[in-house]
Amino acid sequence: MIKKINASFFLFLALFFAANFSQAKETESSGDLKTEIKQYISHHLEDAYDFSLFSYTDQAGEHVYIGIPLPVILWDNGLQIFSSSKLHHGESVAHVGSNYYKLEHGKIYKTDAEGTINYDESNHATNVAPLDFSITKGVVSMLLIAVLMFFLFTNLAKSYTKTGGLPAGVGRLFEPIVLYIRDDIARPNIGEKKYGKYMNFLLTIFFFIWFLNLLGLTPLGVNVTGNIAVTFGLALLTFVITNFTGTKDYWLHIFDPLGGSMKWYAKIPLYIILIPIEVLGIFIKPFSLLIRLYANMQAGHIVLMSLIGLMFIFKSWLGSPLSFGLAFAISIIELLVALLQAYIFTMLSALYFGFAAEEHEHH
C-alpha cells in the first residue's frame, strides 16, 4: 500500500516537473534549452522569497507565477516588512516607504528608484544588502515540519496516558524509531549513565532532518536540508552541546592526549603538533556534519532534477523513457538517502556527545 503511494507520488513528481519544463520549452523556443534547465535547477536549489508552485508565460509575454507570496522582513535602519509579491521575482523594483529594493540573484539589494544594480569587476553587486530576516520558502517549510512534528509527537505522548502505556494512532509508526534512537544510537555511543540528557536533542534532530529531507522530495520543490545555512545551524547546535557538556576528561583528552604515559618534558615536542590537531578536531567534527548533509541533499536534488531535465533534451522515444526510468530509480534511492542522512547526522552527533560525556577511571 505504502509502496503504491510512493510510486504514484514520484510519478506525480516527475509529471509535475515535466509540465514545468515543457512550458518553458514552448515559450522560450529561441533560448537554449540546456541553459534554461540549468537555471531552473540552480533556482530550485536556492531558497526563495515566495512559495511558488509553477510559472508560465501568458500570451502577452509576461511571466505568471502561481504560488503564495511570503513576508519579506528587512533590517534597514528600522524594520521593513512587506509582501514578497512586491519584488515580482526580480522583475521590478519594490517601493517600500522611502526605500527601493530589488531582487538580484536570490538576494535583496537596496537600489534607487530605477533599480540599478552596480557591479564590480568580478561581477559582484556593490549595492547595500540589508540584513534579511525574511520568512522564505525554507522557513515556511521548517515551520510546517515543526508544527507537524509537534502534533505528531504530542499526540503519541497523549496516547500513552489514554491507553495506559501503549502507543496508538500514527505515533505508533514512530515509536520503534524513537526506541531505535534510544537503544542503538544514544545508549551504545553515550553510555547508560548519561544518554538521557541528550535524548531530546537526538530525537528532535533526527525527525527534523528526516522530515525535511522527505519534504524535499515532494513536488513542492523545497530544498531545506540542502541549504548550507540550515545544516550550519544544525551542526552548530551539535558543536555547542558537545563542548558545553564536555567533562574534565574530554578537555584533558584534547589538551593532554598522552596523559601520564610520558614525562612532561618528553611530551612538549609532541604536543606542539598534537594539541593543534586535537583543537582543530573540535571544529572539524561538526563541520563534517554540516558539509555531509548539505552535499548529500544538494547532490541528490541536482541528480534527480538533471535526470528529469534530460527527458526534454533527448526528446526521443528511447532517451526520454530511459531517463524517466533512471529518475524514478534515483527518487527511490533518494528516499533511502533521506533516512540515511538523518541517521548519520544523529549517529555522529551521538558519537561526539559520547566523547564529551566520557569519564575514565582515573589512571
Pick 175 or 358: Cβ nearer other proteins: 175
The verdict on 229 binding other proteins (CB under 8 A) reads yes
CB under 8 A, 24+ apart: contacts of 189-194: 189/347, 189/350, 189/351, 189/353, 189/354, 190/350, 190/353, 190/354, 190/357, 191/354, 191/357, 191/358, 194/357
Among 233, 259, 260, 281, interactor with other proteins by CB under 8 A: 233
Question: Dihedral sign, CA of 269, 275, 295, 66?
Answer: negative
Interface segment toward other proteins; rule CB under 8 A; list 51-59, 85-93, 195-203, 271-279: 195-203
Under 8 Å between Cβ of 350 and 185: yes
Pick 176 or 321: Cβ nearer other proteins: 176
If phi > 0 it is left, if psi is from -120 to 50 it is alpha, else beta; for residue 67 that is: left
The C-alpha cell of 217 is what?
Answer: 522530495
Pick 13 or 48: Cβ nearer other proteins: 48
Under 8 Å between Cβ of 94 and 74: no
Pick 69 or 106: Cβ nearer other proteins: 106
Among 14, 87, 230, 289, interactor with other proteins by CB under 8 A: 230
Task: Indicate the helix (H) or strand (E) that contains 346.
Answer: helix 319-357
Pick 275 or 344: Cβ nearer other proteins: 344
Q: Residue 347: how many CB atoms within 10 A of its CB?
A: 16
**Cα separation, 160 vs 255, whole angstroms:** 46
Task: Give residues 61-120 in contact with other proteins (rule: CB under 8 A).
Answer: 73, 106
Task: Give residues 296-335 in contact with other proteins (rule: CB under 8 A).
Answer: none
Q: Nearest distance from residue 275's CB to other proteins, in Å?
A: 26
Q: Nearest distance from residue 284's CB to other proteins, in Å?
A: 15
**Cα separation, 196 vs 184, whole angstroms:** 13
Task: Give residues 237-266 in contact with other proteins (rule: CB under 8 A).
Answer: 237
Pick 61 or 164: Cβ nearer other proteins: 164
The verdict on 226 binding other proteins (CB under 8 A) reads no
Render 247-290 in DSSP notation, one character per residue.
-HHHHHHHH-TTGGGS-HHHHHHHHHHHHHHHHHHHHHHHHHHH
Cβ neighbours for 158, distance < 8 A, ≥ 6 positions apart: none
Interface segment toward other proteins; rule CB under 8 A; list 22-30, 176-184, 279-287, 332-340: 176-184
Interface segment toward other proteins; rule CB under 8 A; list 81-89, 198-206, 245-253, 351-359: 198-206
**Cα separation, 6 vs 334, whole angstroms:** 12
Among 138, 216, 221, 309, interactor with other proteins by CB under 8 A: 138
Pick 45 or 332: Cβ nearer other proteins: 45
Kindly state the number of chain residues that form the binding site for other proteins, as judged by CB under 8 A. 47
Question: DSSP state, 224?
Answer: S
Pick 232 or 355: Cβ nearer other proteins: 232
Question: Crossing angle for the helix pair 319-357 and 2-27, nearest 10 degrees?
Answer: 120
Interface segment toward other proteins; rule CB under 8 A; list 50-58, 82-90, 175-183, 272-280: 175-183
Amino acid occupying residue 253: H
The verdict on 169 binding other proteins (CB under 8 A) reads no
Interface segment toward other proteins; rule CB under 8 A; list 127-135, 250-258, 267-275, 324-332: 127-135
Question: DSSP state, 184?
Answer: I
Q: Nearest distance from residue 106's CB to other proteins, in Å?
A: 8
Chain positions contacting other proteins, by CB under 8 A: 46-47, 73, 106, 124, 131-136, 138-139, 142-143, 146, 149-150, 153-154, 156-158, 160-161, 165-166, 175, 178-179, 182, 199-201, 203-205, 208, 227-230, 232-234, 236-237
